Chain A
Amino acid sequence: MPAIEAIDLKRCYRVHKKEKGVLGSIQSLFQRKYKVVKAVAGVSFAINKGELVGFIGPNGAGKTTVLKCLSGLLCPDAGKIEVLGFNPWQRRPEFLKQISLVMGQKNQLWWDLPPMETFLLNKEIYEIPDRDFDETLDALIELLELKEIVDVQVRKLSLGQRMKCELAACLLHSPRVLFLDEPTIGLDVVMQKKIRDFIRRYNQEYQATILLTSHNMSDVKKLCQRVIIIDKGQLIFDGPFQEITQRFVDEKIIKLVFSQKIDPKKLHQLGQLRKYNFPQAILTVKKGEVKNAAASLLKNFPVEDLDIEEPPIETVVRKIFTNKASDE
């Protein structure tokens, strides 16, 4: 039985449209126009225990809405969801004790008190036995390097430190399922890596099922073997990370370094010239023609170095999102 399962999940919002200007404001006094936005329009997937899955999609794609439905915050309009065998919407205590939702900016740490107070509060809320609490707390303090900051007022901590304490507070009850919404947003590169390493370790050591959304491609690249892409409330890809490029992109990139000046126009015959800045050049070539193009380049041009690469995932994803947008 999968740990998390969604079948044809649907959820809409009603948004009120305002006309421009003062006249528009007066008009809205008497008459309001509403627009129904389909945040999630029939999404289905199944995630097994211990998987670390990434959810990506442009802003407003519906990722956060899906997470909120899975954690019981929002009631789906239609479809079925099951997490650890529970219906999240019923918000049974037994269910809530096994999950955790971490959302970037909004946090649960009491602003004026040290994080330790919130930790102790959570101990009571989740009814964590003393011994388990002490062990887990010590492990988390070590993993996240919290020793110096647990007794400092939250308001005096930096964003990165707050994020780490937030994460700790959400893991004290050793949840089996973890929902992470933009966990590295606003953090510097060093902190991002630390959080990523921590998530990986948590997944491996505790066999926790982790669902993570992020705009940061490094997060997804380095953590998730499986990726689900959501756009305009629909699931457009669900599979191993490496397959994204294979599925959506038909090209490869050839990076060249020339030893002598050449006529860039000649390169146009072999593929699309993206960049030419002697001695370097970048060409994109259709997958089927790469071999021939490479051979031709080596034969006809003074090439000093030639590299064949997949397009960077960021470009691919951007292409997926903007392609979809232009389909509308």
Chain B
Amino acid sequence: MKLKKYLRIWLKTTFLSIQTHLMTRGASVLYILGKLIRFSFFLLSLLVVLGKERSLAGFSFHQLANFFLVFNLLDILGQLFFRGIYWFRSEVVSGHFDLTLVKPASPLFQVLTVHTDILDLPLLAVIIWLLIRQNLGLPFIRLVLFLFLILAGFLLVTSVHILAVAIGVMTTEVDHLIGIYRDLSLLARFPVDIYPGSIRFLLTFVLPVAIIFTLPAKALMGLLTWPLVIYALFISFLFFILSLRLWRFCLTKYSSASS
């Protein structure tokens, strides 16, 4: 029952979001263009540097492209669903968040999903198309594992966003906490193996963002090992539970803004 309610709310806010984007048609076109261009420039750079049978840490260009595409996929999914987080701080400062809190729906859900960004769809479509093109004739089991790990990755993305919102509630001293996540995750454009030992360790165990983002790509290319899969699932769930706990805790510490 509750699920249906939230689905309806989500559909409604997405609908309103679409209308808003249509209203500011110029801006929407520019955003879509910008996203596509940014992606293309990076892909172009990769091609220029690593095309022509060069390799990186034993990975061929084709394989590196997969890592790059999967990273972008998870990155875009995060932005698509959770764009609202970029406005969160100003909402808290302006007192708008108080209004969110008194509504009869989970404030976390409201804050995270209120601005579904459909402008990410064109790029998402391009990425999915490229992924398919790159990986034709894939054994079914790999596809299943891939999808499974994408879900785990998305769960981690969700957890990170919840974390950022939780901290944002407690202290408005930080502008864009989510920025750190974006910067760190950028390191996951490439397989963790290219980094020197200590960094690799950091990215695998301390901040597992990178490793989780690179796993679905490994699934596509049959480079997975079972320990890795189990580790990924474990970490994703752990982060999710922890982030929810932190959110609840931070909410109790919330002190609303004055007029």
Contact = CB atoms under 8 A, between A and B. Distances in A.
A29 B28 CA distance: 11
Range, interface on chain A: under 10
Range, interface on chain B: under 10
B259 A186 contact: yes
A26 B23 contact: no
Nearest to B257: A155
A10 to B, nearest CB: 29
B259 A18 contact: no
Nearest to A28: B23
Nearest to A158: B258
Contacts of B18: 22, 25
Contact of B25 (A28, A158, A159): A28
Nearest to A111: B93
B19 to A, nearest CB: 5
A25 B25 CA distance: 9
Nearest to B172: A155
Contacts of A25: 18-19, 22-23
Interface string B19-55: 1001101000000000000000000000000000000
A28 B259 contact: no
Main secondary structure of the interface of A (DSSP, over half): helix
B134 to A, nearest CB: 34
Contacts of B19: 22, 25
Contacts of A22: 15, 18-19, 22
B259 A26 contact: no
Nearest to A159: B259
Interface in A17-35: 18, 22, 25-26, 28-29
A28 B26 CA distance: 11
A25 B15 CA distance: 12
Contact of A29 (B15, B22, B258): B22
Nearest to B93: A155
Contacts of A186: 259
A26 B22 CA distance: 6
A26 B25 CA distance: 9
A186 B259 CA distance: 9
B130 to A, nearest CB: 28
Interface of A: 18, 22, 25-26, 28-29, 158-159, 186
19 contacts: A18-B23, A22-B15, A22-B18, A22-B19, A22-B22, A25-B18, A25-B19, A25-B22, A25-B23, A26-B22, A28-B22, A28-B23, A28-B25, A29-B22, A29-B25, A158-B258, A159-B258, A159-B259, A186-B259
Closest A-B pairs by Cβ, 4 of them? A25-B22, A25-B19, A29-B25, A25-B23
